[in-house]
Structure 1
Amino acid sequence: MTIRNLFHLFHPNSVAVIGASDRLHSVGATVFNNLIAGGFAGDIFPVNLKHSTLAGRKVYSRVGKLPLAPDLAIICTPPESVPGLIRELGKCGTRAAVVLTAGLTVVTDRQGNSMQELMLAASKPYLLRILGPNCVGLLVPHMKLNASFAHVNAIPGKIAFVSQSGAMVTGILDWAKSRGIGFSKFISLGDGADVDFGDLLDYLAGDGETESILLYMEAITHARKFMSAARAAARSKPTIVIKAGRMSEGAKAASSHTGALAGSDEVYDAAIRRAGMIRVLSTEELFDAVETLARMRPLNGDRLAILTNGGGPGVIATDSLIEGGGRLAVLSRKSMENLERVLPPNWSHSNPVDIIGDAPGERYAQAMEILNQDPEVDATLLIHAPTAIVPSDDIARILSPVVRHSSRNVLSCWFGGDAVLDARRSFSQIGVPTYETPENAIRGFLQMVRYRRNQELLMQVPASIPKADLINRDSARNVIRLALSSGREMLSEPEAKTVLAAYGIPVVKTREVVTVDDAVQAAEAIGYPVALKILSPDVIHKSDVGGVALDLDTGQAVRLAGELMMLRLRELMPNARSTGFSVQSMARRPEGRELIIGVATDSLFGPVIMFGQGGIAVEVIKDHAIALPPLNQVLAEDLVWRTRIAKLLGGYRNRAPADMDAIYRTLVQISELIVDVPEIVELDINPLVADAGGVIALDARIRVQPAYPESVDRLAIRPYPSELEEWITWHAEQILLRPIRPEDGPAHLEFFHALTQEDVRNRFFVAMRELEASRLARLTQIDYDREMAFVAIRMRADRGAEMLGVSRCVADPDNISAEFAVTVRSDLKGQGLGTILMTKLIGYCHARELQQLVGETLCTNVNLLRLANRFGFSVKTSNDGSTVLLSLPLN
């Protein structure tokens, strides 16, 4: 993961066009002309063997003849020439290139190496970054840089657009220019051989010219890199994704329900959601997203008021809003009274506010001002259909100052064609999101609502779920080790239940037997009634061969059921092996709801967790949702409530509500199991029966494979690193040094309140009386792949976990430098905690092979300065004398 040298890609002082030409409609000619026509102020060097001048500029025969090393090179020459050009550019000092050439993966040398492989090998010694190959190029409108062969230029704006499709690049560019929508960066990713989505998201997250990000995605290659970058970017900037390739040709073969149901697109959807981004499903929605991102301010709520001059469009908008999960604002009494005074008697008297088709501009303005001042309204949508009574552009002219000075978001829909073009244009010019239909307007509004909800989900602090007493890792691992040593991938049902029970998941009492006689004896021991199930490594779903019998209440019934199962197995699957039966007590749960919890392993994102409605018809019903581990309480709740069966888990009629906490806890325990045991590749609990008394697993399947060293990196999101926990002795008592957890929110808040105002100012550089929820979430919900925070915890019998101090560092995407901070509770200073926490942090940074630890503090923070001096930090005072820069080499 790196953003190294990407600055040269987006802010070059000089550009070389290798393959520049005057041949009409050629790529080399188009790029060269675009650079000149765009007004790029830096040096432009055309390179071509066949020309001496182009467009009045001197042409250089080769890279080595250039007067200086260009910051950026645009390559539009045949595939065979690209590796050599990259090597030559690297030698002369160029650090960024855009390779427009296609076909580099197809063309090979005599040894079978593709030109793309040779290109990457040539760039590596020089850290020369490559955009492409097979791309349209890039545009940086603020620099007047058009390093592309797009047919139109981009105008400056605050949206960054990144696309894997060249056609989407040119299509969006053309559409946006016709609407006056600008961009900060416009990037064609192409094949993404070097610079990929993760790199660009990291760069754009810190780009001051970019306020929102738009991605057109077909596939990603490095899941963890993408997830870390996406989570960081989406926390600070609205990030919208259109992911192509949603439809699968068919379900994949799998040994579990989860494996069959967890399609790759659903996994992408789960990843996008987990990162806090917004997904759109069509080009039309993408256009709406561009319009919304370009003009809409941050949204403070989801209550929408609709102001219209026609009932029909207002009803259409309302239907779209409710169907999309939005909320129609309930107007305050004061607003209703004010509207009564300014509107005709036959207005709608509700939201949508229909002010009647003959409304003059003044009526619109009065109603809009009232709605914009209503505390129950978060945003207002204006819908206007043209009439012959009042010209639409007159209404726009009168409304413009009202809308421009509104403290709330206003969206507009000028519903029609030529009659509303001027009105639509005038609203766009004052920065109002403007749409052609009510549905499009609602869709744009809901995109921002979804973004806000995703951010709220990221900021929630999960409740702590005790784990230590529930988990017997050795028991689970021993079962799996035994199965693998005997050459088996599928655990038997009793083995699978033993693994689940080891992680605190309630399972029905089950015994594994070989013969029918053994089954009768086991039933007698367990107690009737019992369930009997056939065991065979060749049978994926027992019910397919009649391999399940329930409510057997006598030994004779058990014997008959077992004999019939064997007959059916031989008849339906004559080659199937039988290893016996499982006998289990019948779980009497008359109000139980059948659920499924499962795990499948995606080829890109690794393990995924599924929750939904269970039973034998699970593939038909397809009521399920998917999430990426690791899960906590908040994420488990979100997973459950994305399914239809969630509503049935609440109480209805005479049924008591199911124990929701038990369901959430089970999901978190499954997540723990998957994180701890990399050998598990598929898992099904179906059914997991849930009622008011809790949950119980009636049937379970687990498939395992040998785990290899790289298995620790199989998760797309790095889990909590429990291996970094350490008990130490501090002043004759034991304290725990460990990475911070999302569940530490309440303890961290208490820690903050225990700091003096001077210490708060030293830590955050500003005076703060309270720690905002968003800041608290950012401090406790960290990405362990790129940042770390160690907390010193003291356990108190009366107060539980008590936070004594925190040390943290955030590494740059290049893993070269990390910025650090250390804070000790104000009443515990001078007792060695700062030294302990700094030692832990520096040891971690060494293990990560970081090269430098840096920090900044106020000159008045004498305690930190003294600590830094003890560890050998260099100290440099800032130019204004208010802060001190600290630096420690780690090599």
Structure 2
Amino acid sequence: MSATVQTGYFFMPEHIILVGASERPQSLGERIFSHLLGSSYQGKITPVNLRHSSVAGIPSYSSLSKIPGQADLVVAVIPPDHYDSLFKACRKKDLRHIILIQDWENLPPESCKNARSIIQKHHGDELNISACNSAGIQLPSLNLNIGTQADYPAGHIALLTGHSTVSRNINHLLNTLHQGVSRHISLNYDLSPTTSADWLNRFGHNRHTKVAVTHYNPAENQRELFSAIRHFTRHTPLILLSTHYTDNTDKAILRSLSRHCNFQLVFNTSELEAALKAHLSSIPVITNPTILSDTPIEWLRTTADTCELTLDLPTDVPSIRQGCIGSSPTPARIHRLALEQLQNPHTQALLGIISPDTPDAYSIHQTLDNLAQKTSKPILVSYRFSDGLTRFNTPEEALLTLYFRNQTAYLQQVQNTPAPAKTGRLKTPKSKNIDKAIASSQTELMAEALYLPPCQTQKHNAVQFRFSRHAIYGNILTAHYNGKTEAALPPFTTLDIQRLSQFAELDNTSVLNQFLHSLNTLIHNNQHIGDIILNYNGSLYSSTIIPEIVEKPVAPTTKIPKKAVQTLEQAAAKMQSAAAYLQQKNPAAAEFLRNTGEAASELLHPKTETPEIQNVLAPYPSQTDTFVLPNGNTLHIRALEPEDAEAKQKFVRLLPAADRYTRFMTHTNELPLPTLARLTRPDFHTECAWAAFASDGRIVAVSRYSRINRNECEFGITLAPEARKTGLAGKMMSLIIQTATQQGYQTMNAEILKENAPMLKLAEKSGFTVTPSETDRGLYQASLDLNEWQNSNKNK
């Protein structure tokens, strides 16, 4: 039976069992139990302690089996050596949700290694385990602190980190901004089988959260992580904090992912502070701030260029020279000059810069604050002792905040932009030609098979596009031009072509278009050549191919006899048992036995090849199909791609008005561009859309489903009038049911208008249970158990 995760267990627990609760001063069990007791948490807390019948005056139990009733959460602060027995007891009592909290950094490496093995063994079908750092979990809205750090103030920021110190630093930053936390968890990214992606999915849409800060973990499954981020940012802004080392290529890839998934990317605390101010304040988009400063300020232009801003440094001799108003301005003079600039129709916003040692500095600050209350144009203030979301300690911080505010608007614009249709004549490489070229090891034949320019050696290339494999993100495409790096991730689209050609200042995109099309084909065929480089110098293109070196595993020269294998296996097992026994008494001997045992196991069972790195973005489904209409016309069915946006819009426009209303439940002649962009760019890791195309390229049917949560999805189907009563609807329904089942969904749902009789009939025929909606009399609720559907189809 699967341990279905319900967020109530974590964010609204009514009963918590604390295994390892203690009164011993400064022990982990005492610190966490003291925080629980010191809060005003209204739920039930049950301590478990082997030696004492009560802890802090509260009745305690020596084992989980003796605790009456059930609990929402089991929090364990015991040593990892006891995890195996803990998990067995949890399984026996049907306690499915376990939080392990430990000061992992102060434990021996071997203890962490053993903990990982035990956790991986038990996590899964019946137990859902999260390994946390000592910072643990805090839910300030419930006054719940399950950790060693002081209570976080309640607020609107959700925190998800992989280190206790990172949590502490962010909380300190929020305190300086007078902001608080809605929910917080600090995972041990190395040990926890429940990842940051899993917890983002649990966070879901919460009315108390205005923005989330997630500490980036490059070691977990990147496809699942960025899919979770993409779904999360559809309802809540997210800032991704990267604290690991990143080179220019890594940064370019993460920026590409930020465009795809709509999150802000920051690399340090200063950037995080600016990004938080940008999200939490009401600052509008500002690209050309007007500066008034009591010190020469032209040097700030360099920072402005980095932040993609243009400064307006007004000059009105003798009052103002390049934004500088003199070293000892009075509050009255500041008020007059600021008012003059604000009345200028070209002024977007005013940034007042005050030196800390300026006479009347505080009064000037107050004057600008009061003026800000009386004008519609933003007034930002840079003053060392400033306080507030639109007040900054340095002018650089002010400009960085404007950069992140503008980036937020840009990223949303990217989300709302549909991909243009494919243009030009594109040649699709043939798989057999590619295989033949690879077998020949001749780079000239490889370039020819991919329809790329001839291979030539160039001493200097103005632009270089390089296709390669990254150790974390899989296949990537990087562009290098003018000392800068840009990146794109497959599957490549016409939006990537637009961005890359703009980055490289290309007038003609036909060669780049063919290059990306050939790369998509190569990836779709799962064929590997190596690094493929497209060089551009002036008007000349050339190719460079660096073939992949495949190392074949060396076959064993001798075969170990079966009896010897059994003897070695028994010896290896005994060595591991002996190592566990000697761990406390003689660590050196235990380590020797453990290493010897592992060496024996490796001899018997050599490690298999490292699994291939997954591309971070899910590919389009490769499945295609056909359907023959009664009139003999053949339809081609495939996954809906971003470049189908124009065809999708035409399809919607040609639908009868009544059909558009029953499908979208609103009166519309066409889809708004943001909706069109979203519907034609599904996340194929957790969503899918299928389309049936006529021979002239017209769409005549679309079926899709979108994610509600990790277990549920919602479907929709639309057919052109010519395709109705042909059996096509059943075909399109079958495709989305199959794909949703493959992606692990348990239930498929839909809300259907009562007057939409054809859809109600299709749902019932497809096995859905159709019932009147409990919330809207004009709707029916259709629901299909995908597990039952799968089992019934297996038996057919």
Q: TM-score range by the shorter chain?
A: 0.7 to 0.9
Alignment CA distance shift 1:80-1:435 (3 Å): same
Rounded Cα–Cα distance in structure 2 between residues aligned with 1:375 and 1:867: 59
User: Who is 1:153 aligned against?
Assistant: 151
CA contact (8 A) 2:3 2:124 kept: no
For residue 121 of structure 2, what is the aligned residue in structure 1? 121
Among 547, 554, 567, the alignment partner of 1:702 is 547
1:196-237 superposed Cα distances (whole Å, 9 cap, x missing partner)? 121123333533432322122253321211121222233443
1:727–1:862 Cα change, 3 Å? closer
Q: CA deviation at 1:875?
A: 1.2
1:747 is paired with a residue whose SS is helix
Deviations 1:217-271 (A, max 9, x none): 25332121112122223344332222123267xxxxxxxxxxxxx8656545544
| Alignment correspondent of 1:64 | 65
Per the TM alignment, residue 383 of structure 1 is displaced from its structure 2 partner at its CA by 4.3
Question: Does the 8 Å CA contact 2:41/2:143 hold for their aligned counterparts?
Answer: yes
Deviation at 1:811, TM superposition (A): 4.2
Equivalent residues of 1:382, 1:411 under 8 A apart: yes
Counterpart code for 1:391: S
State the Cα deviation string for residues 714-760 of structure 1 (Å, max 9, x = none): 32212222323435445321222221110111112222222344433
Amino acid at match of 2:20: G
- The CA distance in 1 between the partners of 2:689 and 2:36, in whole Å, is 46
2:417 corresponds to 1:455: no
Deviation digits for residues 690-733 of structure 1 (CA, Å, limit 9, x no counterpart): 61xxx642543332649999988732212222323435445321
**Post-superposition offset of 1:790:** 1.1
Partner of 2:631: 731
- Is residue 166 from structure 1 mapped to residue 164 from structure 2 by the alignment? yes
Distance 1:759 1:638 in 2: 36
Cα-to-partner distance string for 1:4-45 (whole Å, 9 max, x where unaligned) = 234412221122222222233322222122223332121122
Deviation at 1:78, TM superposition (A): 0.9
Instruction: Tell me what 1:186 maps to.
Output: 184
Structure 2 residue 690 is the aligned partner of structure 1 residue 790: yes
SS at match of 2:123: helix
- Count residues in correspondence: 725
Question: Deviation digits for residues 25-67 of structure 1, max 9, x if unmatched?
Answer: 3222221222233321211222223334444433333322333
Contact 2:160 2:185 (8 Å CA) reproduced: yes
Q: Displacement of 1:641 after TM fit?
A: 4.3
Distance across 2 between alignment mates of 1:804 and 1:38: 60
Rounded Cα–Cα distance in structure 2 between residues aligned with 1:734 and 1:887: 31
| Structure 1 residues 683 and 345, CA gap change in structure 2 (3 angstroms) | closer
| 1:526 paired residue number | none
Look up the equivalent residue of 1:322 and give its one-letter code. D
Distance 1:274 1:157, change over 3 A: same
* Counterpart contact for 2:365–2:381, Cα < 8 Å: no
| 1:322 corresponds to which of 300, 305, 321 | 305
Pairing 1:441–2:398 present? yes
Deviation at 1:438, TM superposition (A): 1.2
Residue number in structure 2 paired with 1:524: none
Equivalent pair of 1:636/1:667 in contact (CA under 8 Å) = no
Structure 1 residue 886: deviation in Å? Answer: 0.2
Matched-pair contact (CA < 8 Å) for 1:320–1:439? yes
- Out of 463, 466, 485, which is 1:598 matched to? 466
2:454 equivalent to 1:507: yes
Q: Corresponding residue for 1:618? A: none
Cα distance in structure 1, aligned partners of 2:341 and 2:48: 59
Tell me which amino acid in the other structure corresponds to 2:749: V
Structure 1 residue 441: Cα displacement: 1.5
Query: What is the TM-score when the length of structure 1 is the normalising length?
Result: 0.73
Q: Which runs of 5+ in 1 are unaligned?
A: 249-261, 331-335, 484-490, 509-530, 532-541, 549-591, 614-620, 650-657
SS in 2 for 1:16: strand
1:368/1:402 contact within 8 Å kept: no
The change in CA–CA distance for 1:235 and 1:317 in structure 2 (over 3 A counts) is farther
SS of residue matched to 2:124: helix
Equivalent position amino acid for 2:281 in 1: R
Partner of 2:227: 228
Given that 2:428 and 2:518 are in contact with CA atoms closer than 8 Å, whether structure 1 keeps it comes out as no
Deviations 1:168-189 (A, max 9, x none): 1112212322431112222212
Structure 1 distance, partners of 2:346, 2:483, is 41
Residue 437 of structure 1, CA deviation: 1.1
> Which residues in structure 2 correspond to 1:11-160 (within 5 Å)?
11-103=12-104, 114-126=114-126, 128-150=127-149, 152-160=150-158
- Tell me, yes or no, if the aligned pair for 1:212 and 1:239 is still in contact at 8 Å: yes
**1:46 aligns to what SS in structure 2?**
strand
Cα distance between partner residues in 2 of 1:719 and 1:474: 18
The question of 1:664 aligning with 2:512 is answered yes
Letter in 2 for 1:603: A
CA distance in structure 2 between the partners assigned to 1:125 and 1:786 by the alignment: 21
Deviation for aligned residue 1:807: 0.9
Counterpart of 1:525 in structure 2 is none
Match of 2:279 in 1: 293
Task: Report if the CA contact (8 A) 2:753-2:779 is conserved.
Answer: yes
Q: CA deviation at 1:806?
A: 1.3
Cα separation, 1, equivalents of 2:336 and 2:83: 65
Q: Tell me, which stretches of 5 or more residues in structure 2 are unaligned?
A: 553-607, 791-796
Describe the shift of the 1:400–1:687 C-alpha distance in structure 2 as closer, same or farther (beyond 3 A).
closer
What residue number does 2:678 align with? 778
C-alpha distance in structure 1 between counterparts of 2:197 and 2:609, whole Å: 24
What is the distance in 2 between the residues matched to 1:224 and 1:205? 18
CA contact (8 A) 1:15 1:71 kept: yes
| Partner Cα separation in structure 1 for residue 419 and residue 326 of structure 2 | 43
Aligned equivalents of 1:434 and 1:276: distance in 2? 26
Q: Residues 561-600 of structure 1: matches in 2 within 5 Å?
A: 594-600=462-468
SS at match of 2:406: helix
SS of 1:215's equivalent?
strand
Aligned to 2:530: 682
Aligned counterparts of 2:163 and 2:614: Cα–Cα separation in 1? 28
> What SS is found at the alignment partner of 1:722?
coil
1:803 is the counterpart of 2:699: yes
How far apart, in 2, do the equivalents of 1:679 and 1:608 lie?
15
CA distance in 1, matches of 2:271, 2:766: 54
Residue identity matched to 1:700:
I
Deviation per CA, 1:772-824: give whole Å up to 9, x if none. Answer: 2211110001111111111122233xxxx22222111124553x432101122
1:320 CA drift (Å): 2.4
- Among 265, 280, 297, the residue aligned to 1:279: 265
Report the CA distance shift for 1:188/1:113 in structure 2 as closer, same or farther (over 3 A): closer
Partner amino acid for 1:275? C
Look up the match of 2:764: 869
CA shift at 1:685, angstroms?
2.7
Q: Does 1:629 align with 2:629?
A: no
* 1:416 pairs with 2:360: no
- Deviation track 1:98-127 (CA, whole Å, cap 9, x = no partner) reads 211245996769xx982222123223242x
Distance 1:114 1:495, change over 3 A: farther
The AA in structure 2 aligned to 1:23 is R
Q: Work out the CA distance in 1 between the residues paired with 2:288 and 2:202.
A: 34
Amino acid at match of 2:752: T
Indicate conservation of the 8 Å contact 2:486/2:500, yes or no: yes
Alignment of 1:187-586 (within 5 A): 187-191=185-189, 193-246=192-245, 267-268=253-254, 270-296=256-282, 299=284, 301-306=285-290, 308=292, 310=294, 312=296, 315=298, 318-328=301-311, 348=320, 357-360=329-332, 363=336, 370=343, 377=348, 381=351, 383-384=353-354, 388-389=359-360, 391-392=363-364, 394-395=366-367, 398-399=370-371, 401-402=373-374, 406=376, 410=378, 412-417=380-385, 420=386, 424=387, 428=388, 432-465=389-422, 470-479=427-436, 482-483=439-440, 491-501=441-451, 505-507=452-454
TM-score, normalised with respect to structure 2: 0.81
Matched letter for residue 161 of structure 2:
S
Distance 2:137 2:282 in 1: 25
CA distance in 2 between partners of 1:54 and 1:303 (Å): 60
For 1:453 and 1:667, locate their aligned partners in 2 and report how far apart those are by CA, in whole Å.
27
CA contact (8 A) 2:133 2:163 kept: no
